Amino acid sequence: MLFSSMIFLWLFLPAVLIISRFLKLRQQNVFLLLSSLLFYAWGEPRYVLLMLVSIVLNWGTGVLLERFPERKKAVLWIGVVLNLSLLGYFKYLGLLVRTLNHLLRGRELEIPQIALPIGISFFTFQALSYVIDVYRGECRAQKNVMDLALYISFFPQLIAGPIVKYRDVNDQIRNRVITPEKTAQGIRRFIYGLAKKVLISNVLAQSADQIYALDMQEMTGALAWMAAILYTFQIYYDFSGYSDMAIGLGKMFGFTFNENFNYPYMSLSIREFWRRWHISLSTWFREYVYIPLGGNRRRTARTYVNLGIVFLLTGIWHGASYNFIFWGLYHGAFSILERLGFGKFLEKHKVTSFLYTFLVVHFGWILFRIESMRQIWEFGKRILLPWRYTASHFSVWEFVNLHTIFILVCAVLGMGALQKLTAEKLEKWKLSIPELVYCAALLLLCISALAGNTYNPFIYFRF
């Protein structure tokens, strides 16, 4: 079930929100858990069992970690291996078999056709953070399996994050306070996220998908540049819009989730970009992989190796395809380059650093968007040498109209610069009568767009 679907907006959300208001906190938790399982089962009923297995597995691991402190390292490793085994089987077994087939050459194994459970990467990482934090003593094991189940399966951040650490919401599960002010803030945030998704990302996605679907022989340099630019803003407004909706939904039910985006396209380095983009994932890898590996506390060469491992895993986390691996290593290479000294140059040249960062990220999304390495090569040539590729039966204006250009301009204006210039006015604007009217107009536009168009993809569902 999509947050930007009519059934969610008109049926599921109003029903859950209204009914929950009449329940006491403990009853509300049970109701939210059942609602979350229904939300997940709506798209894939058979994988609710997988979700329940994950819940019981991690609840049991937490209990055992406290019951047998002398063997907690062994218990931790068993819990981590079992979690990663579930994730590996459903998400990476096909990639493993394809890789083996490349290596065997002639003795091909049958590639398993396993449907990917929606959001498995997100809820697995949440479960892992709980188990690791209990092992470290940063939180107590949850004795009530229902409370842990709510943490792992809570529908606002179940499908595509943000990845929430258990220690950040443990107290909220038992002691949260729901106020009219927090509910209003949640509704406001949800509407802005919905507008990002429906009014900006969906519009850009339609044109981007049509251009990317062209045969490469018909792809001119101009078409390649337009597709890449559209996708750069599509993925930002798609994912950040979803995160805004998740954070807003959390507030409606009394939960406060950490921010997941902070205007990443305003970054002045790739290292800064990863402090602003998908913050919950980058902090997860920093806390549970980079620092345990030694971080930057050891020799310089080891620091670079640690960074390489983290970015390799970041790429693998995103998908079971070689292009994601190269995308992760691509970002890792630039992060290491900046640590080698290039970062000092960037600090002295703000305009250059902005252009450099935006272009590196922009080109990186080509690796992210296209799975075939051969197509990436051909597409890349059209990006770097556009004057050599001008012959086609199609022009840019067959895929892009004035409405698309207008939305693209809005997307550029909304990526951070305008917000920084008007920060004081925006604070006064929050929850004012004019903003209430503005949000109502945005919601009406979103409903109209959804009613008149069935095109409503979401990029991060496949992760």
Confidence of residue 462 (pLDDT cuts 50, 70, 90): low
Percent of the chain exceeding pLDDT 90 equals 67
Identify the CA nearest to 405 among candidates 221, 226, 194, 225: 226
Identify the CA nearest to 262 among candidates 225, 253, 428, 247: 247
Average pLDDT over residues 392-406: 92
pLDDT, greater one: 36 or 104? 36
Torsion of CA 172, 178, 181, 182, to 10 degrees: 40
* 349 in catalytic set: no
Predicted confidence at residue 295, as pLDDT, reads: 80
| Cα gap 323→98, rounded to integer Å | 14
Predicted confidence at residue 119, as pLDDT, reads: 85
Q: In terms of residues, how long is the chain?
A: 463
Predicted confidence at residue 223, as pLDDT, reads: 95
| Cα gap 267→353, rounded to integer Å | 8
Peptide bond into 69 cis (omega under 30): no
- Burial zone of 134 (CB within 10 Å; 0-12 exposed, 13-18 middle, 19+ buried): buried
| Cα gap 252→33, rounded to integer Å | 15
For the segment 123-140, what is each residue's pLDDT rounded down to a tens digit? Answer: 999 999 999 999 999 999
> Which phi-psi region, left, alpha or beta, contains residue 202 (left: φ > 0; alpha: ψ -120 to 50)?
alpha
Predicted confidence at residue 213, as pLDDT, reads: 92
Predicted confidence at residue 343, as pLDDT, reads: 87
Residue 106 in this model has a pLDDT that exceeds 80:
no
- Burial zone of 432 (CB within 10 Å; 0-12 exposed, 13-18 middle, 19+ buried): exposed
Q: What are phi and psi of 395, to 5 degrees?
A: -115, 165
Average pLDDT over residues 182-193: 94
Predicted confidence at residue 31, as pLDDT, reads: 96
Tell me which DSSP letter residue 287 carries: I
Average pLDDT over residues 202-229: 94
Contact 452, 234 (CB under 8 A): no
Residue 267 in this model has a pLDDT that exceeds 70:
yes
| Cα gap 274→398, rounded to integer Å | 35
Residue 455 in this model has a pLDDT that exceeds 80:
no
| Cα gap 339→114, rounded to integer Å | 40
Predicted confidence at residue 272, as pLDDT, reads: 96
Contact 58, 86 (CB under 8 A): no
Tell me which DSSP letter residue 111 carries: P
Peptide bond into 162 cis (omega under 30): yes
| Cα gap 433→428, rounded to integer Å | 11
Average pLDDT over residues 33-50: 88
Q: Up-side HSE of residue 280: CA atoms within 13 Å toward CB?
A: 24
Predicted confidence at residue 463, as pLDDT, reads: 61
Catalytic member of 102, 278, 318, 349: 318
Q: How far is CA 250 from CA 181, 245, 295, in A?
A: 13, 9, 32
Identify the CA nearest to 241 among candidates 191, 279, 281: 191
Helix (H, G, I), strand (E, B) or coil at 267: coil
| Cα gap 350→344, rounded to integer Å | 11
Contact 177, 254 (CB under 8 A): yes
Predicted confidence at residue 461, as pLDDT, reads: 65
